Structure 1
Amino acid sequence: MHPVLERTFGGLSREYYVRQFLFGLVIPAVIARVFIEHPTRLPFWMICLLVVNSLLYPYARFAFECAAGFLFGRMVVAVPLLVMLVVKAGIMALCWGDAIFIAPVTLACLYFLHSRGDPARWQTRYGSNAKGRA
C-alpha cells in the first residue's frame, strides 16, 4: 500500500475500525428499511452518501472520542441507562451524519501523527486506537 494511504486510512487498528464500522451500519440499515417500507426509490446520491458516511464513520468516531477524552479525562458520570443509551445514539447519529466533514480532519491528523510522532500518544477512554509503527 502507498505510504500516504497507510499513514492515513491504515492509521486506526483493525479491531477498532471493524467494531465502529459495524456499529455505524445501524444508521444506514434504518434509513434503507424506511425506504423499503415506502414505495419511493432511494436516490443514487443518497446511496453514495450512505456508503461514504459508513466507511468514514470510524474516523469521525475516533475524532469524537479523542476530543471527549481530552475534555473530560477520566471523569465518570452516573446516569440512568435509558439516558445513556439516548445520548450514545445521538452521538452515533451526529458522528455518522457529519462523518464526511469530520473524517478528513481526522485523516490529516492521523497522517501527521504517523509521519512525525508516536501513535501511542493518541489515547481514548478505551486505550490507544492508533496503530503503532511497524
Structure 2
Amino acid sequence: MRQIFAKTFGGLTPSYYMRQLIFGSLFAILILSVAANSPSGLMGKPGLIVMAIVCTLLYPYSRFVYESVVGYVMGGNVFFVNALLMLMVKVFTMAMCWSFAIFVAPVGLAYLYWHHSRQAS
C-alpha cells in the first residue's frame, strides 16, 4: 500500500506540488471568504469547506494532467499574445482545473502510478 501512495501521490516533484498547492489555496481562500460573508456564514456550509480542501489538495494533479495534455497538443510551439489576455486565460484554466480537480486528478494519479511502475521495472 505504501508503494501505491509513493507512486501516485508522491509522483510529482515537491517543488511543483507546493507551487500548485499555493495557487490552489488561493482559489479555496477566495471561495471560502465569499461564503463566510454570506448571510448563512461559513458554518452553514460544511460540504463547501470539505470540497474546497479536497479540490485544493487534488489541484496539483489536475494541473499536471492539463499541462501534459496542452504540452502534447501544442508541442514546442511558442505564441506571442497580449500579456493581459494570456493572464486571463491562465487564471481561467487554473480555476477550471481547481473546480474539476476531483474528476480530473484521478487521471493524473493513474498516469503517475503507471509511469512510476513502468520506470521501476
Aligned residue for 1:40, secondary structure, equals: coil
Partner of 2:107: 105
What amino acid does structure 1 have at the position aligned with 2:89? V
25-34 or 66-75, which deviates more: 25-34
16-25 or 36-45, which deviates more: 36-45
Alpha-carbon distance between aligned partners in 2 of 1:36 and 1:45, rounded to the nearest angstrom:
13
Aligned residue for 1:25, secondary structure, equals: helix
What amino acid does structure 1 have at the position aligned with 2:112? L
Partner of 2:84: 82
Preserved CA contact (<8 Å) 2:32 2:49: no
Cα offsets for 1:14-61 (capped at 9, x unmatched): 000000000111111111121222222231111110000000000000
1:48 aligned to 2:59? no
Aligned pairs, how many? 118
Preserved CA contact (<8 Å) 2:11 2:112: yes
Partner of 1:66: 68
Q: Structure 2 length as normaliser, TM-score?
A: 0.92
Q: Structure 1 length as normaliser, TM-score?
A: 0.84
Alpha-carbon distance between aligned partners in 1 of 2:77 and 2:31, rounded to the nearest angstrom:
34
What amino acid does structure 1 have at the position aligned with 2:108? T
Alpha-carbon distance between aligned partners in 2 of 1:36 and 1:109, rounded to the nearest angstrom:
37
Question: 5+ unaligned residues in a row in structure 2: which ranges?
Answer: none
Identity of aligned residues (%): 44
Alpha-carbon distance between aligned partners in 2 of 1:4 and 1:35, rounded to the nearest angstrom:
36
Partner of 1:26: 26
Alpha-carbon distance between aligned partners in 2 of 1:6 and 1:61, rounded to the nearest angstrom:
19
Partner of 1:94: 96
Partner of 1:7: 7
- Stretches of 4+ moved more than 6 A in 1? none
31-40 or 106-115, which deviates more: 31-40
RMSD (Å), alpha carbons? 1.3
